[in-house]
Amino acid sequence: MELEDTFVDFTRRDWETESPDGTVRMAVVGIGGFARERALPGIAESTYCETTTLVTGSPDRTRAVAERFDIPYVVDYDGFLAGDHADSYDAVYIATPNATHGTYASAAASRGLHVICEKPLETSLEDAQGIVDACRDAGVTLMTAYRLQTEPTVRRTRELVRNGVLGDIVQVHGAFSHPLLDTASPDSWRLDPDLAGGGALVDLGIYPLNTTRFILETDPTGIYATTHSSGEPFERVDEHVAFQLEFDTGATASCTASFDAHASSRLEIVGTEGMISIASPFGGVVPQDMVVESGDLRMEYTGVPVDEVREEFDYFGYCVLTGTDPEPDGEDGLADIRAIEAAYESADTGRRVDID
């Protein structure tokens, strides 16, 4: 495939090789900011999913949300676990605090429901493995909600790398900073290590981590990390993190994430023969700019804004309807948690930590 071909029909869904009938009826579990502002609109716009049930700790306050999106049922967490209105949905999207993912995912799987679960899958490798096991034992689809994997710029970048347009990959730089307190209160669960499993690394750093693994199609074998917190309200988690992934090929990925810096994101991949730079890959709301250099050729592309959350839910629905295994599966989610646990060990010890 020539480089130029990549830019023809840039937003194509290469994964959509048939057109299944019907939709997957979703219960959205956890109605926080991301669910209200991104997931529910994305599902509403999607072809293969629809929301029929909201699961929330505040049913009264959530009814307005349900009305806005024309969603028939609102249940609380006890009702969800008891199976209230369970015949109204086929799958669950879990967007609760990370430490509760296992409870709701396993409950859903045990009732034969398919699961799309926010990243990280859980707050420990053991608990994340519990979700993977529960879904495998129940024979249901499990997808980790890595929305970037359905984002056209990232998919096209993987194709370019796979087709050798950059030669051998040498070095990656990935950065994602987002000032958490602009949109969340200081008592956000994201700042509670028991509920979140970590700080900026777990919530933001996982984007460059997972996207690098996705594009390079290989897992890191070592990691070094440093974390820093300036104090309250970030005292119990990493406010800032810098980590360096090492791959068996000799390639490295230099990544950073911050809860308390100017909003910014970038991904740059340099190989022996070329380079790809993506401005704002992780923010999700900025029209995406991409520069590709290959030998003496240079192309700049400013992408049509694509709602990668809609893409993500359409991909999940498509996988369920066609019986396809999603690429961001449970194992993909486990691989990132392995790297995250190794990163925190490295930050504690000041040493490179091997990742098995």
Which residues bind to a second copy, rule: CB under 8 A?
Answer: 166-167, 170-171, 173, 175, 177, 179, 224, 226, 228, 230, 240, 242, 244, 246, 250, 252, 254-256, 258, 260-262, 264, 266, 268, 270-275, 277, 293, 350-352
Q: Kind of pairing, strands 222-228 and 240-246?
A: antiparallel
Cβ closer to a second copy: 113 or 166? Answer: 166
CB of 93 to a second copy, least distance (A): 32
Give the whole-angstrom CA distance, residue 132 versus residue 343.
22
Cβ closer to a second copy: 205 or 317? Answer: 205
Give the whole-angstrom CA distance, residue 185 versus residue 241.
21
Cβ closer to a second copy: 9 or 248? Answer: 248
Give the whole-angstrom CA distance, residue 66 versus residue 213.
37
The DSSP call for residue 76 is: -
Six token digits for residue 255: 């990544």
Q: 229 in helix, strand or coil?
A: coil
Give the whole-angstrom CA distance, residue 288 versus residue 261.
21
CB of 156 to a second copy, least distance (A): 18
Cβ closer to a second copy: 84 or 273? Answer: 273
CB of 292 to a second copy, least distance (A): 11
CB of 179 to a second copy, least distance (A): 8
Residue type, 71: I
Residues 6 or more apart whose Cβ sits within 8 Å of residue 240: 200, 227, 228, 229, 256, 257, 258, 259, 260, 261
Six token digits for residue 164: 């050798």
Q: Which of 314, 356, 316 is nearest to 339 (CA)?
A: 356
Q: 75 has which bridge partners?
A: 55
CB of 291 to a second copy, least distance (A): 9
Cβ closer to a second copy: 39 or 292? Answer: 292
Cβ contact 277:267 at 8 Å: yes
Cβ closer to a second copy: 58 or 218? Answer: 218
For residue 120, say if its preceding peptide bond is cis, omega within 30 degrees of 0. Answer: yes
Cβ closer to a second copy: 171 or 324? Answer: 171
Cβ closer to a second copy: 45 or 268? Answer: 268
Cβ contact 24:114 at 8 Å: yes
